[in-house]
Structure 1
Amino acid sequence: MKKGSVFILFLILLAGCNQNVDGLYEQDEDQHARAFVNNNQSLDSGTGGTGVTMSDQNPNLVPVDKERSQRNQKSDVDQARKAILTTKEFKPGSVWINAGEMTVTAYKNGYLTNSEERAAERRLHHVLVHALPRYDINVHVEGTEK
């Protein structure tokens, strides 16, 4: 009986030593070879160690994380409204951001013909592109009755 329990204990010991736990060197390998590219990290992960992320380096990149994205979109909408008000020709209407596209509606006093509307849209588009170059901006100007 004593020999049998020692033999079973020896088998348990051998089975425990045969665990195939990935070590430090095997963690980046798949079944084919070593994986040198890790596609699981986002561009905004800040792996450089300096605390500077990709969005901080280039102002034309829209941030990936949700909190900063909402904060930046709100500030971009405010920036667009301020740019419209600085013209003193238009009043801001709705401003929508969908990914990299911004749709802006502005109002101008008085009745506008189609050609006047298009000319006003071109002027306002020029102002908004200089204020917010990261977006593809669609502008719609409407005339209001006095």
Structure 2
Amino acid sequence: MKKLLILLMFAVVLVSGCGQDNTESVYDKDEDQAGVDLNREHDGVRHGDGPNFTKDQDNGMTMTDQNPNLLNTDNENHHSFSQDVQKAKDVISDAGYEPGSIWINGGEMNVTAKLQGRVTRQDREDARKTLHNSLVKALPRYDIKVNID
């Protein structure tokens, strides 16, 4: 008896979904609850000004322009460590030395420059000091340590 009652209730629930009124809605396709929606054309796309309209979607905006919480990675003014390394290599080359390894660790930059030929200890120390001064002028944000090979 319980199985028959459960089966009967299941059938009533199943059949009750088929009893919907499939006639047109109270509102026509071009109307909303307030009446005729004048912001819509027949294609169903809203036109006008604002973030959800097609006029603003086609102006070349990227996701970083639309969401202020995303990082702006296409900005040319952002800081890059590779730019600092390249600047240090340029300073070393301009001073007449061959750039070696350059390491950045936090606020510290370790630079290695190579001298051409055999040099004395005094020449090596003078080269280290002049190169250090040039690098500090070019990259003042780092504590620079210069090694001469």
Give me the TM-score of the superposition, normalised by structure 2: 0.46
Give me the TM-score of the superposition, normalised by structure 1: 0.47
Q: Which protein shows a greater Rg?
A: 2
Larger relative contact order (CA 8 Å, sep ≥ 6): 1
